[in-house]
Amino acid sequence: MTALATSGSGHSSRYWDCGKPSCAWSGKASVSAAVRTCDKNDNPLSDPNTKSGCDGGTAFACTNNSPWAVNDNLAYGFAATAINSGTESSWCCACSVPPTRGDLMVPGGGVGIFDGCTPEFGGVPGDRYGGVASRDQCGQMPAKRQAGCFWRFDWFLNADNPDFDFQLVK
């Protein structure tokens, strides 16, 4: 494994393309298990080699990849990112983002380049890049994705692509 920068700063954006996360592929990195994927009904899939819904397959991001708040000051979520001096194996990502940039996985964040939401749900509201424009539009999301969309407006206070500081954790 390549040594990575242990901390730094970057710039964020948001997306939710409904597709299989990069770290869900078997053998992507030295981990005990790949990121779980789900079928279009949010049932976990057992085969990490199932093709992504963004590429005509049946593997999609599971609802539990949505961000969640622990309290008013702490929330967790996932991001597609690249880290300077690392490799895909060390940060487990095949991203279309430059180093020190993070695409936060937020339902309603926009599908971006890839669109697995149309085969999974028949489409989602909002712009391709940027996603929904208001909390009210989250109510037009598929029911299982609404809580993650509401998180953006309720906890994240609709922050629009903020800068961030990061620290590598193991």
Residues noted as catalytic: 17, 103
- 109 vs 97, residue with greater confidence: 109
pLDDT of residue 102: 78
| Contact call for residues 114 and 19 (beta carbons, < 8 A) | yes
- 147 vs 23, residue with greater confidence: 147
pLDDT digits (tens, 9 = 90+) for 60-86: 999 999 999 999 999 988 887 766 666
How far apart (Å, rounded) are the C-alpha atoms in residues 86 and 29? Answer: 12
pLDDT of 155 over the 70 cut: yes
pLDDT of residue 6: 61
pLDDT of residue 22: 83
pTM for the predicted model, two decimal places: 0.84
| Contact call for residues 112 and 14 (beta carbons, < 8 A) | no
| Nearest alpha-carbon partner for 15 in 75, 79, 83, 99 | 79
- 72 vs 99, residue with greater confidence: 72
**Mean pLDDT confidence for 112-137:** 93
R_g of the chain computed on alpha carbons: 15
How far apart (Å, rounded) are the C-alpha atoms in residues 80 and 8? Answer: 16
| Residue ranges of domains in the chain, CATH in brackets | 11-159 (2.40.40.10)
**DSSP conformational letter for 8:** E
